[in-house]
Structure 1
Amino acid sequence: MEQVLLNIGFGNTVVAERVVAILSPNSSPMKRLKDEAKEERSLIDVTHGRKTRAIILTDSNHVILSAIQAETVSSRFEALMKDEKEEK
């Protein structure tokens, strides 16, 4: 079974099928979500010290912080899903 990987910046990838949502980090609920994930030890920070520009939620309840714009990650995700459908 081949897994499709989504590039979330700086050489980091996540299995595209596990992604539930790609969100902008600027709202209060997203900040609360990030804080809760940190407390629960389910926060993964792949920003390499840069500003968080996207929050990626996975079906395993992990919250991934990326320094790539949410729109960019989302367009990469859409392109991967489109390619997957065309291959089938």
Structure 2
Amino acid sequence: MQKQGLLNVGFGNFVVLSRVITIALPSSAPMRRLREDARQEGRLIDATQGRKTRAIIVTDSNHVILSAIQAETIGQRFSAEEGE
């Protein structure tokens, strides 16, 4: 049985590692468009607790998760968890 690692995306919110497709910076035009499309289609999950969005996580279920944690930090957590 494969272990399902969890990725902490901040404020007690976790994502199953194997579901993560990408972790991206929110500032580019394609990421802003992705966020708006997900919001309109009900696929947006806001895990920022009202803080500034610093990373966008896209999952294989086509959900878009907003995080207040820096994308680099989430990437490091992802690598650390994946290596265990």
| Shorter-chain TM-score tier | over 0.9
Give SS of 2:26's match.
coil
Which residue identity does 1:33 align to in structure 2? Answer: L
Which letter does structure 2 place at the counterpart of 1:60? S
Per-residue deviation, 1:3: 1.8
- AA paired with 1:11? G
| 1:73 lines up with 2:69 in the alignment | no
What secondary structure is seen at the aligned counterpart in 1 of 2:4?
coil
Give, as a single letter, the amino acid of the residue that structure 1 aligns with 2:4.
Q
Point out 4+ residue stretches in structure 1 off by more than 3 angstroms.
none
Equivalence for 2:63: 62
- Number of aligned residues: 83
Match of 1:26 in 2: 27
Instruction: Report % sequence identity.
Output: 63
Structure 1 position 60, deviation (Å)? 0.1
CA RMSD of aligned residues (A): 0.7
